[in-house]
Amino acid sequence: MKALLVHKGLDVALGEVSSSKKPRKIANEDLPYVLDRAHSAIILSLGDGVLREVGGEKTAASLRKKLEDLYTKKSMAKRLATKKKLYTLQMEYGSSITDHIDAFNKIILDLEDINVKIDDEDKAMILLCSLPSSYGHLVDTLMCGRQTLTMVDVKENLSLTVRGMTEKREENTGKKKRSKSKSRKCFQCHKEGHFKRDCPEKKYKNKDAKEKSGDAVVASEFEGSDGYDSAGVLIAIDGQTRGN
């Protein structure tokens, strides 16, 4: 909400107005108009259920305080629950490292919203401990022989590791495809790369054989309705005709 009001140039309405805090571009006669716009912007952004809770607030500043009291209480229960989420976070099976870091960052931001600050080194350590065993080599490398450990170091090394794993996987996939292609051997022409059923030489031979062999065509003529009073049969074999 603060970002929205800053974007619209209405953030002055969030705090107590004084000559020292008031932006120069807002004249005294324009101030009530700005405050009303800020109040309306907040109201229009709330759902019906929330509106019923804060409907009595008449200024943007009082609206903000009421919303903070309702939804960002710095209680012991919320603080402990969010800390538990952070310290027990583990990368889910099948999840990408990008999604995992995003989930980690979300918890960190939730803690910062309730004034819980985590040291950068502790963040880096918690993130490393949340990784699966497949990242064990990276974890050992980052933890040994270092004077300091930062989130920047961890994220950069994770990015390089993921890129290397992706390239290796693609390389192995290409090797398997090439190996599979070489393992196919045709019993027709004894060449690799295809099976007998797909052999081009076989197709050509079948086509030549079909052109050389004759097709038989039988034509008959019948007269009468009760039986075969007369019948004429014409047979064509290999381009020659025979009649009966």
Report residue 16: phi and psi, to 5°.
Answer: -70, 135
Return d(Cα 123, Cα 107) in angstroms, integer: 11
Question: Which residues touch 127 (CB under 8 Å, ≥6 apart)?
Answer: 101, 104, 151, 154
What pLDDT is recorded for position 144? Answer: 84
Nearest to 30 by CA among 9, 48, 46: 9
Give alpha helix (H) positions in the chain.
2-7, 31-44, 48-54, 60-71, 76-87, 97-113, 120-129, 136-143, 151-183, 200-212
- Reported pTM: 0.49
What are the pLDDT digits (tens) for 37-96?
888 888 888 888 888 888 888 888 888 888 888 876 667 888 899 999 999 999 988 888
Cα 134 from chain centroid? 21
Digit-coded pLDDT (tens) for 218-239: 544 444 445 545 545 555 555 5
Reported confidence tier of residue 146, pLDDT bands at 50, 70, 90 = confident
